[in-house]
Structures are given as structure tokens and as C-alpha cells.
Structure 1
Amino acid sequence: MENKAYITASELAELLGISVSRAYRIIHDMNKELANKGYLTVAGRVPTKYFEERWYSGKELKCI
């Protein structure tokens, strides 16, 4: 994955092979987790590092 701070729903959908609406739901859930930990979030985007930690146990991706 490129060195981007955030991943968008469309990028997430392409990466995981899911619909964009499902990707938004995943992002919403991850942003809710972050908000509960006291972090500020951006609607429709999730920090790339956090996504990689939650989805791939912190392994950096190189496919987008």
C-alpha cells in the first residue's frame, strides 16, 4: 500500500473485493473504535496504519 495517511472506502472496496457500501460500514466501525479510544476521525476514511493493524495484523500491504 502506498504511504498514504488514510485509506478511502473505494480503495478499501477494491483491496478487499467488496462493495463500496460494505467498505463504508467497515470504516464506520473502525472509526467508532478509534473515537472510543479518544482519537479524532475523518468520515469515510480510516488511517492506513490502523486498517493494516486491524485487518492484517500490522503487515504493510504493497498492492494498491
Structure 2
Amino acid sequence: MDKSIFIRADELAVELDVSKALAYKMINQWNEELKAKGYTTVGGRVSRQYYYEKIYGAEKEKADARV
């Protein structure tokens, strides 16, 4: 099955190696940011695209650190 357009807290916790509680806090914060921009949000999950945008800089930093 293809990945959903949303990422849930349990998947986020695994991908980022953080607790579920922290994953929920991150999702809530990102959803508040999206609401402020006028987007519709779904509780307990966030747009996968927005998630990638939020962590992209961290991924780039990791790659730069390995060089």
C-alpha cells in the first residue's frame, strides 16, 4: 500500500527516534502553524509534505556533517 498523504505520531516517532508523546507535540505544533496559514488539519496527523519541509534542513545538516 502506498504511504498516506498524512504521517501519524507513531510513524513520526519511529522515523525521528523520539517518544510518541514528543511526536504528538510536534504534530500539534505543526498543525497550529498550518491552521494559522488557513489550511485544514486533521488531529493526530500532519501532512507528509509539511513534515518533509520541516525536517529538510535537519537532513541537509546531517549530510553536510558526514562529508
Q: TM-score range by the shorter chain?
A: 0.7 to 0.9
Gaps of 5+ in 1: 60-64
Deviation at 1:4, TM superposition (A): 2.1
CA RMSD across the alignment: 1.5
User: So what's the TM-score if we normalise by structure 2?
Assistant: 0.79
Max Rg structure: 2
Q: Deviations over 1:14-54 (max 9, x none)?
A: 00000000000000000000000000100000000010011
Per the alignment, residue 11 of structure 1 pairs with 11
User: So what's the TM-score if we normalise by structure 1?
Assistant: 0.82
2:52 & 2:17 partners in 1: Cα distance? 16
Q: Secondary structure at the match of 2:46?
A: strand
Q: Secondary structure at the match of 1:39?
A: coil
Write the mapping of 1:1-64 to structure 2, written as runs, cut at 5 A: 3-57=3-57
Gaps of 5+ in 2: 60-67
Identity value in percent: 42
Opposite residue 13 of structure 2, the aligned amino acid is: A
Please list every run of at least 4 consecutive aligned residues from structure 1 whose deviation after the TM superposition is greater than 2 angstroms: none
